[in-house]
Amino acid sequence: MVKKKKFKRIAVFTSGGDAPGMNAAIRAVVRTALNYGIEVYGIVRAYDGMIKGDIIKLSSKDVGGIIQRGGTILQSARSVEFRTKEGREKAYNNLLDKGIEALVAVGGDGTFTGATIFHKEYGIPVIGVPGTIDNDLFGSDSTIGYDTAMNTVIDAVDKLKDTASSHDRLFFVEVMGRDAGFIALNTGIASGAEAILIPESRTYINDLIITLKENKRKGKKSGIIIVAEGDDFGGAYEVARKVKELDSSYSTRVTVLGHVQRGGSPTLADRVLASRLGFAAVEALNLGHNNEMVGIVDGKVSYTSLDLAIKSHSPINKELLRIARILSI
């Protein structure tokens, strides 16, 4: 049974890879906290800024006009020093100097790992908000930035399909997803890709060649292969090289979308999700939740321990794999 808390000052920060919608989450945290009479501070450059004391007070006006902006106004940075006990002690002392009593951490598993260690050492209440385009955190049906990233991929692939068909080429498109294939799987289905290669499913090049030859027999002279960067075969360049080696009849091209997937104005879905989660984070603190991540499961706010959110990544939908195979015929 959680006990209600009354905080005077909290801080919010964004950490890890930026994700479209992080600004909307910051905005929601600030304005929800102010609604409850809580002062809000923003930590610039995440844990690095916490150590250096780069902590600024935020007003409602400070977060005006940012809901549509990609990236994060609080910026993000890696911090080797925060991995040390001495670094975390500096960070804690800086929070004490500002009178900050609780934290809202927006980010992914690396962000939550740092927050968990910090909480265990110093007991400072922390609530995590899932902000990562990979959608690989357990405890939320979607993470901030995921929908926007997929739409960015679809826009690019649709354009590549035009040039692929114009030149009878086979395009291998690498998308983000080092450990999870959510972006690749969904964008592959949505773009009508001939094949989708993801970390959760082993890649068999000979099977891929058979599929491509069958497509060619049916009159398909061009195609799109979506490859998650963490695919076990080694990424789009390696897959394209092997396909070309086994069948030199293909005119192949490789496009790595890379960090373009992290940028851009967030979609409506990501703006609403980020707003709900930022609001829920402050509500969670007020209700006494601690060392937990807020998420949306089946349309409702849920709470998951940060440890579980990190260790139990969401599983891939096997039904979507089956759909992808059938619809690519």
Which sequence positions are flagged as catalytic? 134
Joined together, the tokens standing for residue 147 give 């929908």
The angle, 0 to 180 degrees and rounded to 10, between the axes of the packed helices 109-122 and 85-98 is: 80
The SS3 assignment for 305 reads strand
Phi, psi (deg, nearest 5) at residue 62: -60, -25
Cα–Cα distance between 193 and 191 in angstroms, integer? Answer: 6
SS3 label, residue 27: helix
Let me know: does 313 contact 200? Beta carbons within 8 Å. Answer: no
Query: What tokens were used for 208?
Result: 């891929």
Q: In what order do the strands lie in the sheet with 195-197?
A: 195-197, 223-228, 170-175, 252-256
CA 299, distance to chain mean position in Å, is: 19
| Collapsed DSSP state (helix, strand, coil) of residue 54 | coil
Instruction: Please give the DSSP secondary-structure letter assigned to residue 178.
Output: S
Distance CA 6, CA 187 (A): 44
Q: Tell me the backbone φ, ψ of residue 257, rounded to 5 degrees.
A: -75, -30
Question: What element of type H or E holds 30?
Answer: helix 22-35
* 187 three-class SS: helix
